[in-house]
């Protein structure tokens, strides 16, 4: 597609579609987009037309990581496609991979509505979904027999209710989701950092994480395991978690989840005054996640594959995460604010940035600033 048409898309989303969409309840808009995405993904024509409008490919962006081939480094973060309904259309939108979920042992209604708010000035969202999803058994049935045009990650978490608060019960729930889903995924992410679940985030302490990973180690699988980390941790706390990860089969880390720190300088306080619950995505997580990525890369080198996520709104943002040490990058909020053409724009921009800096492939830029 020509550059003129791409610019038209960007301007049309920013000036026309977004102002209309942002008048409506964000969860309702998300559900409508999921419905449209499913319909488009269901037909060859829908997929081809979407790819013609949005997808950008270039050999400089291709990598093979842990034996998995990624056509480009930009993935859809966990939380957008909670029930794995969009796996057919997202490759056409231009994503190099997707992380479906988070998916829990049991079906979960999530927290009461409203549970999603936009923060236009802070360029973020307040998220209080509380792991709404259809549960691992229904989603496993949905995925069985399907083929995917890109690598599929599956994020597992523990069911958000009273029954999983006790540590062993929580671990049982993770194990159930893991066992049900690993065969369909190229990698499995264990989400220990949902800020909106009953009982908090018990597995972000080294002792409990050790117990959880001990149990998951016993599952026979060839699929690499990633861990999704919280963003509101110090370097020392990260080091303590890394010590545990090194004892187990963890091959990668997703850095990182929503922030609960409401006094971050990027957050416009007027916007959140009347929203008392939830974690915040987008720009308020950008720097904090980059700092963790850099520290992790500096201290562990290539031991873990790092997927960087948090506040990516343009190619330069993605490039910064890569230069800090991320081999792959994910996003959600940037796409909601900038439109679906953002993925192609980022990939196109990355190629230009790589050429400017004399790299032949994206992998050469990983960690150069750490």
Ligand X SMILES: Cc1cc2nc3c(=O)[nH]c(=O)nc-3n(C[C@H](O)[C@H](O)[C@H](O)COP(=O)(O)O)c2cc1C
- The footprint of ligand X (CB under 6 A) covers 77-79, 82, 101-102, 116, 125, 127, 129, 131, 155, 191, 194, 228, 257-258, 281-282, 285, 309-312, 331-334
Who's near 15: CB < 8 A, 6+ residues apart?
none
Give the residue at shortest CB distance from ligand X. 79
Closest Cα partner for 180 from 139, 146, 127? 139
Nearer to ligand X, 63 or 102 (CB): 102
CB 156 within 8 A of CB 193: no
- Characterize 230-252 residue by residue with b for buried, 16 or more Cβ atoms within 10 angstroms of its Cβ, and e for exposed: bbbbeeebbebbbebbeebebbb
Three-state DSSP at 26 gives: helix
CB of 311 to ligand X, least distance (A): 5
Alpha carbon separation from 155 to 64, 88, 104, 163, 186 (Å, rounded): 21, 18, 9, 20, 11
CB of 343 to ligand X, least distance (A): 12
CB of 48 to ligand X, least distance (A): 27
Q: DSSP labels for 274-327?
A: T--S-EE-SGGGHHHHHHHHHHHHHHHTTSSEEEEES---SHHHHHHHHHHT-S
Return the biggest CA–CA distance within the chain. Answer: 57
CB of 139 to ligand X, least distance (A): 13
Nearer to ligand X, 88 or 317 (CB): 317
CB of 357 to ligand X, least distance (A): 24
CB of 301 to ligand X, least distance (A): 24
CB of 43 to ligand X, least distance (A): 27
CB of 335 to ligand X, least distance (A): 8
Nearer to ligand X, 46 or 101 (CB): 101
Nearer to ligand X, 131 or 188 (CB): 131
Three-state DSSP at 37 gives: helix
In the sheet with 279-280, reading across from the earlier edge strand, the strands are: 116-119, 124-127, 279-280
Nearer to ligand X, 1 or 29 (CB): 29
What distance lies between CA 81 and its chain's CA centroid?
10
Three-state DSSP at 21 gives: helix
Nearer to ligand X, 60 or 194 (CB): 194
CB of 334 to ligand X, least distance (A): 6
Nearer to ligand X, 60 or 103 (CB): 103
- What whole-number distance in Å separates Cα of residue 125 and Cα of residue 109? 20
Three-state DSSP at 329 gives: strand
Nearer to ligand X, 101 or 344 (CB): 101
Nearer to ligand X, 75 or 91 (CB): 75
- What whole-number distance in Å separates Cα of residue 40 and Cα of residue 52? 13
């Amino acid at each position: 597609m020509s550059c003129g048409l791409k610019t038209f898309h960007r301007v049309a989303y920013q000036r026309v579609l977004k102002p209309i969409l942002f008048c409506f309840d964000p969860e309702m808009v998300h559900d409508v987009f999921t419905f449209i995405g499913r319909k488009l993904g269901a037909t060859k024509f829908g997929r081809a037309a979407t790819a013609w409008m949005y997808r950008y490919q270039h050999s400089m962006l291709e990598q093979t990581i842990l034996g998995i081939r990624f056509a480009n480094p930009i993935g859809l973060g966990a939380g957008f496609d909670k029930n794995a309904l969009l796996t057919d259309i997202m490759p056409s939108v231009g994503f190099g991979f997707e992380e479906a979920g988070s998916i829990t042992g049991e079906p979960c209604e999530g927290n009461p509505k409203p549970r999603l708010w936009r923060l236009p000035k802070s360029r973020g969202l307040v998220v209080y979904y509380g792991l709404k999803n259809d549960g691992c058994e229904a989603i496993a049935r949905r995925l069985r027999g399907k083929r995917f045009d890109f690598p599929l990650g599956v994020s597992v978490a523990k069911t958000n209710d009273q029954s999983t608060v006790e540590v062993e019960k929580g671990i049982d729930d993770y194990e159930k989701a893991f066992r049900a889903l690993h065969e369909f995924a190229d990698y499995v992410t264990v989400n220990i950092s949902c800020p909106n679940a009953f009982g908090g985030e018990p597995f972000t302490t080294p002792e409990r994480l050790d117990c959880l990973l001990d149990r998951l180690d016993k599952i026979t699988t060839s699929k690499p395991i990633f861990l999704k980390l919280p963003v509101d941790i110090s370097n020392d706390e990260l080091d303590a978690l890394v010590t545990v990860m090194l004892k187990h089969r963890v091959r990668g880390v997703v850095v990182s989840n929503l922030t609960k720190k409401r006094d971050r300088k990027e957050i416009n306080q007027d916007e959140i005054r009347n929203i008392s619950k939830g974690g915040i995505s987008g720009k308020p997580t950008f720097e904090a996640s980059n700092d963790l990525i850099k520290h992790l890369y500096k201290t562990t080198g290539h031991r873990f594959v790092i997927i960087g996520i948090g506040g990516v709104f343009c190619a330069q943002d993605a490039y910064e995460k890569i230069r800090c040490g991320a081999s792959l990058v994910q996003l959600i909020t940037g796409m909601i604010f900038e439109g679906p053409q953002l993925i192609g724009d980022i990939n196109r921009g990355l190629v230009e940035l790589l050429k400017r800096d004399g790299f032949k492939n994206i992998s050469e830029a990983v960690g150069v600033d750490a």
